[in-house]
Amino acid sequence: MTYIPGLEGVVAARTRLSFVDGQAGELFIGGFPVEVLAPHATFEEAAFLLWHDRLPDAAELRDLHDRFVAARELPGEVVDLLRAAADRNAPVIDALRMAAAALSLDDPDPQHNDPANNLRRAEQLCARFPVVVATYWRMRHGQAPIAPRADLDHAANCLYMLNGTAPDAEAARALETYFVTVIDHGMNASTFTARVITSTQSDLYSAITGAIGALKGPAHGGAPGPALDMVFEIGQLDKAEANIRGRLERGERLMGFGHRVYKVRDPRADVLAAAADRLFQRAGDRSLYDMARGVEAVALRLLEEYKPGRKLQTNVEYYTAMVLHGVGLPTELFTPMFAVGRAGGWSAHCLEQWTDNRLIRPSSDYLGVKDRAWVPIDRR
């Protein structure tokens, strides 16, 4: 057996959910190019597509919206848990991870893994994630949580519950586009985590909780905050060269660049750049956006200089930072928002894994010794 560090190039699942071609820079989600799906679909539509392998008709979408609305009320124990986390100032992504695990509390039979119940759980978890994030965010800032609004879709309701005012159509659309852009992406680390947990016949709450833990790290979903921080730190385009050179000289990684699979530009970066462009035309800090584009060009040039041949390109996180900043979200909410979008894909992968399950259980190369002699504790 061959040891493959990071399982690079290992095919660990068969899926109909998304297809990533890292050489061609292509991403298909539920059969649609991301460039087609993301600007048009709502999160509910894209999640339905992944769960059912087809788009919903108008009545089905209305019914799904109604089920999302009904699921938005959190169990009281979860609200108490969020309050306890807020008292300790826990990071938002940690509060979401704790809440995801506790959301099984109002499930009458969380261990019963039949397909209908798992689909209901998938819908409920997805519907509740933005509610958890917004409720927690307000608690942590000493503000009263805001009740959800039944007339608002997923993204608009999320912004409403955060800010207390309904967003304009463009901001809501930009956030929908973001959620759909990141809803699924092949066998990424958090999705793999969810599938591994599911493959043991564990429950959906456990799988999604594990996935959030995997997403949190800076090598995966933790990058967009630091990417924006870098742009802010640079401050003026003529300072970009020295700042980025300094980072690369110190051996630092530039957040928002490089990808395990994409060796050309991540197509999601273009979809989100277009969304950011539209947002910043209308409002927000256009000069910041223009500078970010300039910083990107300098970063790509210097990455080629310092890391020639590694094919380091802009990834989804760089423009995630621009879109989420453009809709008025602070950097600490960037990774939690990634989880809100990716929950659609995680849950669809769990459902898919259950339909054709085999325990995921790879092997390891043993590097230890085999000839130790036992020494009793009083003689060590």
How many residues sit close enough to ligand ACO to count as binding (CB under 6 A)?
19
| Close Cβ partners of 224 (under 8 Å, ≥ 6 residues apart) | 255, 256, 317, 318, 320, 321, 324, 331, 334, 335, 338
Is residue 141 among the annotated active site residues?
A: no
Catalytic residue flag (residue 154)? no
CA distances from 65 to 48, 72, 126, 256 (A): 11, 11, 12, 33
259 near ligand ACO, judged by CB under 6 A: yes
Q: Which residue from 83, 149, 286, 307 is in contact with ligand ACO, where contact means CB under 6 A?
A: 307
Query: C-beta of 266: minimal distance to ligand ACO in Å?
Result: 7
CB 92 → ligand ACO: shortest distance, Å? 18
Residue 310 engages ligand ACO in binding (rule: CB under 6 A): yes
319: contact with ligand ACO by CB under 6 A:
no
SS3 content of the chain, % helix, strand, coil (to 5): 60, 5, 35
* DSSP bridge pairs for 29: 18, 32
- Catalytic-role residue among 154, 185, 220, 259: 259
Considering the complex, state which of residue 278 and residue 307 has its C-beta at the smaller distance from ligand ACO: 307
Nearest of 109, 39, 119 to residue 71 by alpha carbon: 119
> Considering the rule CB under 6 A, would residue 260 count as an interface residue with ligand ACO?
yes
Shortest distance in whole angstroms from residue 289 CB to ligand ACO: 19
Residues 199-228 that bind ligand ACO (CB under 6 A): 218-221, 223
Asked if residue 301 binds ligand ACO (CB under 6 A), the reply is no
Q: At 20, which helix (H) or strand (E)?
A: strand 18-21
Q: Shortest CA distance to 157 belongs to which of 183, 182, 180, 129?
A: 129
Asked if 192 interacts with ligand ACO (CB under 6 A), we say no
Q: Which of 316, 322, 329, 350 binds ligand ACO (CB under 6 A)?
A: 316
Would you please indicate which residues are annotated as catalytic (active-site) residues?
Answer: 259, 317
Binding site for ligand ACO (CB under 6 A): 218-221, 223, 253-260, 307, 310, 312, 315-317
